[in-house]
């Protein structure tokens, strides 16, 4: 049996030349936590975590490493269940009768689910390496070009609508056929004008997706949707305030023909379930690197297929591309952020990165996720 011997984390941060904003928060750097699991027979697996605060997430990974050390490294379900069980009360837990830590405090759930994500993804990477095949093949998928889009249009003070249009047009020069614009920081009228300016800049052919970062209540979002409908918008992503629930999404879906996308900030399949079943979303964007890992992403995908909802994972195409390749019936594509200039962390962290050709990325045949860290890059940008 291949047993888990050690778990390590490497928080990495590459400063942006100029801070940018979504509608909700400032971003000063490209950041990720590389997770490494080694086994007693020398095998290594790597996972990615997108979350903050990085230090707190790394602390949880370290605590969990003590719990899973010695477990079967190929038993990802057993590891996942053991760690997830720590988030709820258990008989005898407060006295430590089961030998594990006490229940995780409620306020730590985001960091804990991010820590589980990194561990779980690293175990899947290891599982593919142990089998000598890429994860997509391990899951029974067939390799094919994966449709991708490039996200841009992050807010920068003093930038005009025309500037944002030029920015997204440059993605088309790289070979993308679809682009996603950050929206929602201004009034409904201002943002609708911004969308119109970008559509004029990129032309009618490319798909235009809107990433809204939860800016509006229901009434304002319906107004916004009606204003941008003439611009052939592909989807509205995270369109409603964070506290609005599936019933509100369902009302929005009934009010506009623009499809809705949601799910990147959900922590488990159980809350995603309600958006899929009751919320009227057309695309589910569960992010395995932000919460719960690849194991949970597969469960979300199975539920989505049963309800005719497409899977369009949030970011990390080098990870989520394997999920999409395993879903020939219900996966739409993956998210990218352009080339090395606009996404230096993703292009620098590993020796190889999925190649973009003709609007599609191409995943290779390397075992696991094909992640070979560039340790010089890691040490240079280690936070």
CA distance readout (Å), 307 to 74, 322, 330? 31, 21, 10
Say what the pLDDT of residue 12 is. Answer: 98
pTM over 0.85: yes
Distance from first CA to last CA of the chain, Å, rounded? 35
Burial of residue 67 (number of CB atoms within 10 Å: 0-12, 13-18, 19+):
middle
Burial of residue 140 (number of CB atoms within 10 Å: 0-12, 13-18, 19+):
exposed
Rounded CA separation 287/82 (Å): 21
Nearest to 10 by CA among 31, 30, 26: 31
- For residue 144, what are the contacts with CB-CB under 8 A and spacing of at least 6? 325
Say what the pLDDT of residue 73 is. Answer: 95
DSSP state of 86: G
Domains of the chain: 4-132 (3.30.390.10), 138-381 (3.20.20.120)
Nearest to 266 by CA among 235, 247, 238, 239: 238
Under 8 Å between Cβ of 222 and 236: no
Under 8 Å between Cβ of 73 and 52: no
pLDDT tens per residue across all 383 residues of the chain: 799 999 999 999 999 999 999 999 999 999 999 999 999 999 999 999 999 999 999 999 999 999 999 999 999 999 999 999 999 888 887 877 777 788 888 899 999 999 999 999 999 999 999 999 999 999 999 999 999 999 999 999 899 999 999 999 999 999 999 999 999 999 999 999 999 999 999 999 999 999 999 999 999 999 999 999 999 999 999 999 999 999 999 999 999 999 999 999 999 999 999 999 999 999 999 999 999 999 999 999 999 999 999 999 999 999 999 999 999 889 999 999 998 999 999 999 999 889 899 899 999 999 999 999 999 999 999 99
Say what the pLDDT of residue 206 is. Answer: 97
Under 8 Å between Cβ of 204 and 232: yes
Cis amide linkage into residue 323, ω under 30° from 0 = no
DSSP state of 3: B
Residues making up the chain, counted from first to last: 383
320 has which bridge partners? Answer: none
Say what the pLDDT of residue 87 is. Answer: 92
Under 8 Å between Cβ of 110 and 332: no
Say what the pLDDT of residue 92 is. Answer: 80
Say what the pLDDT of residue 267 is. Answer: 94
């Amino acid at each position: 049996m291949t047993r888990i011997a050690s778990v390590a984390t490497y928080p990495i941060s590459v400063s942006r030349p100029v801070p940018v904003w979504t509608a909700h928060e400032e971003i000063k750097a490209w950041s990720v936590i590389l997770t490494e699991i080694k086994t007693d027979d020398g095998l290594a697996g790597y996972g990615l975590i997108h979350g903050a605060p990085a230090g707190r997430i790394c602390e949880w990974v370290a605590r969990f490493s003590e719990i899973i050390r010695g477990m079967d490294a190929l038993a990802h379900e057993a590891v996942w269940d053991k760690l997830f069980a720590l988030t709820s009360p258990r008989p005898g837990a407060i006295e430590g009768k089961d030998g594990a830590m006490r229940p995780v405090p409620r306020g730590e759930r985001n960091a804990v689910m991010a820590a589980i994500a990194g561990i779980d993804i690293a175990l899947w990477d290891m599982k593919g390496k142990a089998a000598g095949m890429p994860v997509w093949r391990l899951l029974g998928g067939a390799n094919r070009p994966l449709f991708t889009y490039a996200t841009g249009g992050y807010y920068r003070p003093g930038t005009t609508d025309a500037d944002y249009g030029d920015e997204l047009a440059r993605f088309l020069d790289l070979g993308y056929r679809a682009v996603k614009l950050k929206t929602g920081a201004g009034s409904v009228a201002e943002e609708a004008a911004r969308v119109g300016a970008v559509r004029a800049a990129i032309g009618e052919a490319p798909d235009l997706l809107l990433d809204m970062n939860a800016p509006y209540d229901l009434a304002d979002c319906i107004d916004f949707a009606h204003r941008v409908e003439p611009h052939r918008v592909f989807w509205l992503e995270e369109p409603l305030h964070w506290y609005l629930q599936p019933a509100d999404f369902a009302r929005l879906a009934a009010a506009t023909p623009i499809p809705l996308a949601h799910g990147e900030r959900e922590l488990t399949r159980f809350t995603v379930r309600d958006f899929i079943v009751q919320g009227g979303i057309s695309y589910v964007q569960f992010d395995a690197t932000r919460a719960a890992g690849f194991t949970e992403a597969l469960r979300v995908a199975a539920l989505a297929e049963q309800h005719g909802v497409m899977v369009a994972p949030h970011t990390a195409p080098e990870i989520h591309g394997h999920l999409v390749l395993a879903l020939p019936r219900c996966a739409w594509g993956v998210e990218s952020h352009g080339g090395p200039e606009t996404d230096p962390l993703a292009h620098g962290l590993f020796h190889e990165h999925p190649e973009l050709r003709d609007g599609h990325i191409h995943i290779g045949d390397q075992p696991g996720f094909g992640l070979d860290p560039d340790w010089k890059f890691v040490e240079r940008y280690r936070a």
